[in-house]
Amino acid sequence: MEALSMRGYEVLNNPFLNKGTGFTEVEREELGLVGLLPSHVQSIDEQANQAYAQYQTKATNLEKRLYLSQIFNENRTLFFNLLDKHVAEFMPVVYDPTIADSIENYSALFVNPQNAAFLDINHPENIQATLENAADGREIDLLVVTDAEGILGIGDWGVQGVDIAVGKLMVYTAAAGIDPSHVLPVSIDAGTDRQSLLDDPAYLGNRQPRERGETFFNFVDKFVKTAQSLFPEMYLHFEDFGRSTATKILNTYKADWPTFNDDIQGTGIVVTAAVLGALAITGEDIKDQVYLTYGAGSAGTGIANRVLAEFMQQGLSEEEARQRFYMVDKQGLLFDDDETLTDEQRPFARSRAEFEHPEALTNLEAVVKAVHPTVLVGTSTNPGSFTKEIVEEMTANTPHPKIFPLSNPTRLHEAMPADIIKWSDGKALVAAGVPVDPVTYSGVTFEIGQANNMLVYPGLGLGTIVSQARILSDGMISAAAHALGGMVDASQSGAPVLPPVSSLREMSERVAIAVAKEAVAEGINRKSMPDVEAAVKNAEWIPEY
Ligand X SMILES: NC(=O)c1ccc[n+]([C@@H]2O[C@H](COP(=O)([O-])OP(=O)(O)OC[C@H]3O[C@@H](n4cnc5c(N)ncnc54)[C@H](O)[C@@H]3O)[C@@H](O)[C@H]2O)c1
Ligand Y SMILES: O=C(O)C[C@H](O)C(=O)O
Sequence letter at residue 483: A
Nearest to 159 by CA among 195, 201, 99, 106: 106
Residue 158 CB, shortest distance to ligand X, in Å, is 16
With CB cut-offs between 5 and 8 Å by kind, which of ligand Y, ligand X, Mn ion, none does residue 300 bind? ligand X
If phi over 0 gives left and psi between -120 and 50 gives alpha, with beta otherwise, what is residue 521?
A: alpha
Q: Which is nearer to Mn ion, 240 or 329 (CB)?
A: 240
Any binding-site annotation on 240?
yes
Residue 213 CB, shortest distance to ligand X, in Å, is 18
Q: Which of residues 408-467 bind ligand Y (CB under 6 A)?
A: 408, 452-453
Contact string 191-230 vs Mn ion (x = CB under 5 A): ----------------------------------------
Which range in 354-362, 401-409, 458-466, 485-493 contacts ligand X by CB under 6 A? 401-409
Any binding-site annotation on 251?
no
Rounded to whole angstroms, the Cα distance separating 211 from 213 reads 7
Nearest to 160 by CA among 132, 200, 212: 200
Pick from 225, 330, 388, 526 the residue near ligand X by CB under 6 A. Answer: 330
Using rule CB under 6 A, residue 115 touches ligand Y: no
Residue 429 DSSP SS3: strand
Any binding-site annotation on 453?
no
Let me know: does 469 contact 496? Beta carbons within 8 Å. Answer: no
Rounded to whole angstroms, the Cα distance separating 459 from 509 reads 6
Using rule CB under 6 A, residue 293 touches ligand X: no
With CB cut-offs between 5 and 8 Å by kind, which of Mn ion, ligand X, ligand Y, none does residue 509 bind? none
Beta-carbon count within 10 A of 13 CB: 12
Q: 168 catalytic, yes or no?
A: yes
With CB cut-offs between 5 and 8 Å by kind, which of ligand X, ligand Y, Mn ion, none does residue 380 bind? ligand X
Compute how many residues bind ligand Y; rule: CB under 6 A: 8
Using rule CB under 6 A, residue 380 touches ligand X: yes
Polymer length of the chain: 545
Pick from 23, 78, 96, 259 the residue near ligand Y by CB under 6 A. Answer: 96
- Residue 357, exposed/middle/buried by CB under 10 A (0-12, 13-18, 19+)? exposed
Pick from 141, 147, 239, 263 the residue near ligand X by CB under 6 A. Answer: 263
Using rule CB under 6 A, residue 248 touches ligand X: no
The number of helices, as runs of H, and strands, as runs of E, in the chain is 23, 14
Strand partners for 431: 449
Pick from 174, 448, 451, 480 the residue near ligand X by CB under 6 A. Answer: 451
Find all residues with CB under 8 Å of 477, minimum gap 6, and list them.
265, 268, 269, 306, 460
Residue 125 CB, shortest distance to ligand X, in Å, is 31
Rounded to whole angstroms, the Cα distance separating 119 from 131 reads 8
Rounded to whole angstroms, the Cα distance separating 307 from 293 reads 11
DSSP class of 151: B
Rounded to whole angstroms, the Cα distance separating 80 from 11 reads 18
- CA 345 vs CA 312, 419, 453: distances in Å: 19, 30, 21
Measured in degrees and rounded to the nearest 5, phi and psi for residue 45 equal -65, -40
**416-429 per-residue burial string, b: 16 or more CB within 10 A, e: under 16:** bbbbbbbbbebbbb
Residue 347 CB, shortest distance to ligand X, in Å, is 15
Q: Which of residues 223-242 bind ligand Y (CB under 6 A)?
A: 240
Using rule CB under 6 A, residue 173 touches ligand X: no
Let me know: does 477 contact 483? Beta carbons within 8 Å. Answer: no
Pick from 163, 179, 262, 518 the residue near ligand Y by CB under 6 A. Answer: 262
Residue 113 DSSP SS3: coil
Q: Which is nearer to ligand Y, 19 or 194 (CB)?
A: 194
Q: Which is nearer to ligand Y, 84 or 96 (CB)?
A: 96
Q: Which of residues 149-178 bind ligand Y (CB under 6 A)?
A: 152
Q: 95 catalytic, yes or no?
A: yes
Q: Which is nearer to ligand Y, 152 or 371 (CB)?
A: 152
Q: Which is nearer to ligand Y, 368 or 497 (CB)?
A: 497
**Whose CB is nearest to ligand X?**
297
Rounded to whole angstroms, the Cα distance separating 21 from 359 reads 69
Determine which one of 168, 254, 402, 517 is catalytic. Answer: 168
Any binding-site annotation on 218?
no
Nearest to 489 by CA among 280, 343, 227, 235: 280
Using rule CB under 5 A, residue 263 touches Mn ion: yes
Residue 96 CB, shortest distance to ligand Y, in Å, is 3
Any binding-site annotation on 149?
no
Using rule CB under 5 A, residue 240 touches Mn ion: yes
Contact string 464-503 vs ligand X (x = CB under 6 A): ----------------------------------------
Q: Which is nearer to Mn ion, 15 or 97 (CB)?
A: 97
Sheet of 449-450, strand order = 332-333, 325-329, 291-294, 375-378, 402-405, 429-432, 449-450
Determine which one of 19, 55, 64, 95 is catalytic. Answer: 95
Handedness of CA 312, 315, 317, 323 (dihedral sign): negative
Rounded to whole angstroms, the Cα distance separating 537 from 545 reads 18
Point out the residues that are catalytic. 95, 168
Return residues touching ligand X (CB under 6 A). Answer: 150, 152-153, 243, 263, 267, 270, 295-300, 329-330, 379-382, 406-408, 412, 433, 451-453
- Residues tagged in the binding site annotation for a divalent metal cation: 239-240, 263
- Residues tagged in the binding site annotation for (S)-malate: 408, 452
Return residues touching ligand Y (CB under 6 A). Answer: 96, 152, 240, 262-263, 408, 452-453
- Residues tagged in the binding site annotation: 239-240, 263, 408, 452
